[in-house]
Amino acid sequence: MEKTNINENRRFDLGRDFRYRIFSVLMKWETVLILILTAVVITNSFLSPYFLDPVNLLDTTFNFSEKAIIALLMAFVIIAGDIDISVASIVALSSVFMGMASAAGADAPTLVVIGLLSGLAMGSLNGYLITKFKIPSIAVTLGTMSLFRGIAYAILGDQAYTKYPEGFDFFGQGYIGDSPIPFELVLMAVLALGAGYILHRTSFGRQTYAIGCNLQAARFSGVPVDRIRFQIFAVTGLFCGLASVLLTSRILSTRPNIGTGLEFEVITIVILGGIAITGGEGTMIGVILSTFVLGFLKFGMSLLNVPGRVMNILTGALLIFAILVPMALKGLRNSVEMKAQKKL
Amino acid sequence: MKHGRFVTALFLMFALIGGSAFGADLKIAILVKSLGNGFFEAARDGAMEAAKEIGGVQILYQGPSQSTAEGQIEIVDSLIAQKVDAIAISANDADALVPVLKKAMKAGIKVVSFDSGVSKDGRMINLVPSETPLIGGQQVQLISEMIGFKGEIAIVSATSQATNQNAWIEAMKTTLKQAKYKDVKLVATVYGDDSSDKSYRETLGLFKTYPNLKGIISPTTIGVAAAAKAIQDNGLTGKVQLTGLGLPSEMKAYIEADVCGQMALWNPIDLGYSATYIACRQGRPHGQHQGWSQRRKRHGRPLRLQERQHRQIRRDVLGHEPGPEDPVRFLTGPLRAGFFL
């Protein structure tokens, strides 16, 4: 008699556990993003005959691959409780340095190295100022945003670099072999996998979350807070350098206003991806999903020739939705958990 | 039943939005620097007029919300995906758009640039609205007449990258070297990025930095309206003279209040009209544009509409037939389409 009772109890427990798991998966922001992405794809396929064409879909990724690459690192920055609004200016100044080198006769591989190194240097300057002098990241990057962009304007004025060597156009315009798969997209996918692994599977990632949740507590628990924050900002600079290589190669010219407004688009991707602006929360999958949600939404709307202003309104609404819904979901999940505990 | 109705609704939606696209045999995109700019909206009206005359042409009027090259590149990508027949573009950047426009031409799309051109490799034909030396020269002449050929002047331009703006500013500088302008001194060129707000602030900055400023040239419709407002708001009417390239509809009040003594422009309606005609001609394969020569006979050469429409706009502003001394002067250089070298 007693035995069957226990078994029944266990079966009951398993069932409840299973239902609870489904509930908690459904209550995740990533699930909401998948639903939104599905809705975007289905609606657009119905509205435009040109949307669900693999070649078109692959080609439109050119327009957001660079932003996505910066967003991968911006996710680390925001999870650690910081912000970097100088990213677009780093892209611009790196591009100017590449243009100078190209004018002096450098070849394509040298230009890539110059782009990456100048990005790394600017990112390191951000990280150094933030950790060494304990200045909030928003203040430092607000300063370097104007500084880097200002230097770019001082060097170029109303001029442009338009001479780039043979083969440099591959990075931003090239495809893998004869396939219609852009090189940029593959690069973005590889980097996304790497970033996801580091954020979710290594101690570096866990320490990033710890800093974002409570910086002081992390410091007292022995997390090398300043070193990690410095590294995050430095690598963000490096990725901006990479994005600059791709963007410069894509448009084969450099002007000081290159990438204007890019920082806000990147931050939009990250926030919509469910990374809490207060730090300590969010996943890489969310960031990647939101990249595609925004990219395909924009592509679909431009296929329907919806004016840019309407797109801005929609993006804004989505962003507010992205901030409000996880809060509501959290509240709902808590109350369900409380009820479950009361029943026990 | 419910399901069926849903499918019908979707189908209707599809038909409504897609239907017009399939009905026309020629799809032409007018891609402008940014939306919400009166100049380009007038160009769009001209494009619509041309499309109506030619028949069987659908106009897609598109532009980014901010005047950036990146925004225009995204739109060109979507136009390639939509397989439009021709793109007529006024570019935010002469070079940055070249790779994507090359891709468009490779996909069989005819590319024409108008108003603000694209470098040679990125288009087939460039439509120049008027002649650069004529524009630069006339702007300098207008402002010099107003300030009595003596004093400091400044330029409020659009973006520092705009091809046309930079060419005009160069032409103004060349004109200023002539002996009769020896007492007219160009002290500054500022950039309002074709945003009313920034142009206004840049103009205020000029008043502070150059207290002896006598005149402002703003060769951009948004800039000249913003500068006029700045002059009026600061009670500088009469002290600082203003000229530029302005839209009569936006400048009417300022001309009447004597803030802007004289200004010049060419007709944006004609520009859109001509760009559409050229794009149609490019976009329609050989043997299919018999209509072109017939319509040409019927309407005269399309470019000759210029004079008629000029007079109409001038009448709208003045309320009477225009005379030679009226405040809106038209740049009467021939509207030229040609290979830009």
Domain residue ranges of chain B, discontinuous segments joined by +: 2-130+268-316+334-338, 132-265
pLDDT at residue B14 in the model: 47
Give the SS3 label for residue A283.
Answer: coil
Residue A148 clears pLDDT 70, i.e. is over it: yes
- When comparing pLDDT for A29 and B296, which is higher? A29
And the tokens for A159?
């001029």
CA dihedral A174, A178, A182, A183 (to 10 degrees): -60
- Radius of gyration of chain A, Cα coordinates, nearest whole angstrom: 23
Instruction: Verify whether the Cβ–Cβ distance B13 to A47 is below 8 Å.
Output: yes
For residue A252, which residues of chain B lie inside 8 Å, CB to CB?
95-96, 98-99
In tens, the pLDDT along A108-135 reads 999 999 999 999 999 999 999 999 999 9
**Which pLDDT score is estimated for B22?**
45
Of residues A203 and B26, the one with the higher pLDDT is A203
Q: Which residues lie below 8 Å from residue B278, measured CB to CB, with a gap of 6+?
A: B88, B112, B125, B127, B337
**Roughly how many angstroms between the first and final C-alpha of chain A, as a whole number?**
22
Residue whose tokens read 């006339």: B138
**Is there a common fold for B2-130+268-316+334-338 and B132-265?**
yes
What is the pLDDT, as a whole number, of residue A145? Answer: 97
Interface predicted TM-score (ipTM) of this complex, two decimals: 0.82
CA distance B91 to B117: 6
The answer to whether the beta carbons of residues A291 and A71 sit under 8 Å apart is yes
**Whether B93 and A253 lie within 8 Å, measured CB to CB:** yes
pLDDT band at residue B324, thresholds of 50, 70 and 90?
low
Tokens 């690459």 belong to which residue? A69
**To the nearest whole angstrom, how far is the Cα of B161 from the nearest Cα of chain A?**
6
What confidence tens digit (pLDDT) does each residue in B253-289 have?
Answer: 888 888 888 888 777 777 888 888 888 876 654 444 4
CA nearest B103 in A: which residue? Answer: A173
Task: List, for residues B233-256, the tens digit of each pLDDT value.
Answer: 999 998 999 999 888 778 888 888
Specify the pairing of strand B336-338 against strand B125-128: antiparallel
User: Which of B207, B200, B197 lies closest to B154 in space, CA to CA?
Assistant: B207
Q: Which one has a higher pLDDT value, B293 or A69? A: A69
pLDDT band (50, 70, 90) for residue A309: confident
Q: A206-219: per-residue pLDDT in tens? A: 999 999 999 999 99
Scanning chain B, the segments in alpha helix (DSSP H) are 2-23, 38-54, 69-81, 98-106, 132-147, 163-176, 196-209, 221-233, 248-256, 268-283, 290-299, 305-318
Q: Which helix (H) or strand (E) holds A275?
A: none
How many beta carbons lie within 10 A of that of residue B313, not counting itself? 20
The answer to whether the Cβ–Cβ distance between A250 and B82 falls below 8 Å is no
Nearest Cβ partner for B17 among A47, A258, A298:
A47
pTM: 0.78
- Residues sharing a CB contact under 8 Å with residue A335, sequence separation 6 or more, in sequence order: none
Closest Cβ opposite residue A303 in set B78, B119, B166: B78
Most confident of B6-20, B30-44, B220-234, B323-337: B220-234
Q: What is the pLDDT of residue A310?
A: 84
DSSP state letters, B259-326:
SS--EEE--HHHHHHHHHHHHHHHHSPTTS-HHHHHHHHHH--GGGHHHHHHHHHHHHHHSS---TTS
Per CATH, which fold does B132-265 belong to? Rossmann fold (3.40.50)
Which one of B70, B101, B191 makes the best mutation probe of the A interface by having the most chain A beta carbons within 10 Å? B70
Mean pLDDT of B35-44: 86
Question: Domain B2-130+268-316+334-338 in CATH: superfamily?
Answer: Response regulator (3.40.50.2300)
Q: For residues A32 and A20, what is the distance between their CA atoms, to the nearest angstrom?
A: 17
Tens digit of pLDDT for each residue in A244-274?
999 999 999 998 989 988 999 999 999 999 9
CATH of domain A56-304: 1.10.3470
Please determine, for residue B144, whether its predicted confidence score (pLDDT) is greater than 50: yes
Q: Which chain B residues have a beta carbon less than 8 Å from that of A258?
A: 96
CB B87 within 8 A of CB B279: yes
Helix A137-156 and helix A108-132, axial crossing angle in degrees, nearest 10: 140
